[in-house]
Amino acid sequence: MPEGPEIRRAADTLLAAMANRPITRAWFAFPHLKPYEDGLVGQHIEKIDTRGKALLTWFSNGQVLYSHNQLYGVWRVAAAGESPVTKRDLRVRLENADQAILLYSASDIKILSADELAAHPFLLRIGPDALDMALTVDEVIDRLSSPRFSGRQFGGLLLDQSFIAGLGNYLRVEILWQAGLTAQHKARDLSAQQLRRLCEAILDIPRLSYATRGRSDINKHHGAVFRFRVFHRAGKPCERCGRPIEKTTVASRPFYWCPGCQR
């Protein structure tokens, strides 16, 4: 499943295809969205935000398209009028004179006003977004140290969108390796130094993944580049201590860790 960095990069790609160009065609598969089609023609997309794994497309008339990919949803960019061959079911088509953005297979799709968006149950339930550059390490420390989260094991907590939105399985694995902690650790049992190191990783790793993962134009001259240290590396030596990486299951998801330096 795509995690926060992948959703944010998808939003960037969609916006580049559609920004400031009048919509020439709007099409929705679901009957409850059909009444909005004609009203979107002639509007343009002002911005596309992400909140965790939800994508928010803001139109110039003040309406917002809320979509959540869940397990199977995926956005694609195509030429205007083009219908790519796929076994997926098309849910949304927004088109300008040159390009179209297409949403396949998702089921959680709504058109909302700004006020309705602010009251959306999912957005009210999730925590601050790891890719929100206004979110600081100290704020994450305060959140993690609160009674609500301090007694929970990290293996489950780092997948809980109500703690920090946008984290998923590969980020959970890489964050805990970076911090030198196990899935069984809890915030209340950490030293102040351990807690800060963990919270720095909670922000640094998703942001580095967003900025550099999959980018062919990033090289060593640009500084740090995201790569997997433990995820999908079972049996390979840990680059920090040399012990073989192990694989297990934590919170019903594959989990990779180093028994030598995650203690």
Please state the φ and ψ torsions of residue 202, each to the nearest 5 degrees.
-60, -30
Instruction: Please give the structure tokens belonging to residue 60.
Output: 């110039």
Output the CA–CA distances (angstroms, integers) from residue 235 to 188, 198, 246, 256, in the order listed: 31, 25, 6, 10
CB atoms within 10 A of CB 101: 22
Output the CA–CA distances (angstroms, integers) from residue 148 to 27, 151, 175, 187, in the order listed: 43, 7, 20, 11
* DSSP string for residues in 94-151: EE-SSEEEEEES--EEEEE-HHHHHT-HHHHHS--BTT-TT--HHHHHHHHTSTTTTT
CB atoms within 10 A of CB 239: 13
Write out the catalytic residue numbers.
2-3, 53, 253
Is residue 182 a contact partner of residue 257, using CB atoms and an 8 Å limit? Answer: yes
Long-range pairs of 119-124 with CB within 8 A, sequence gap ≥ 24: 120/66, 122/54, 122/68, 123/51, 123/54
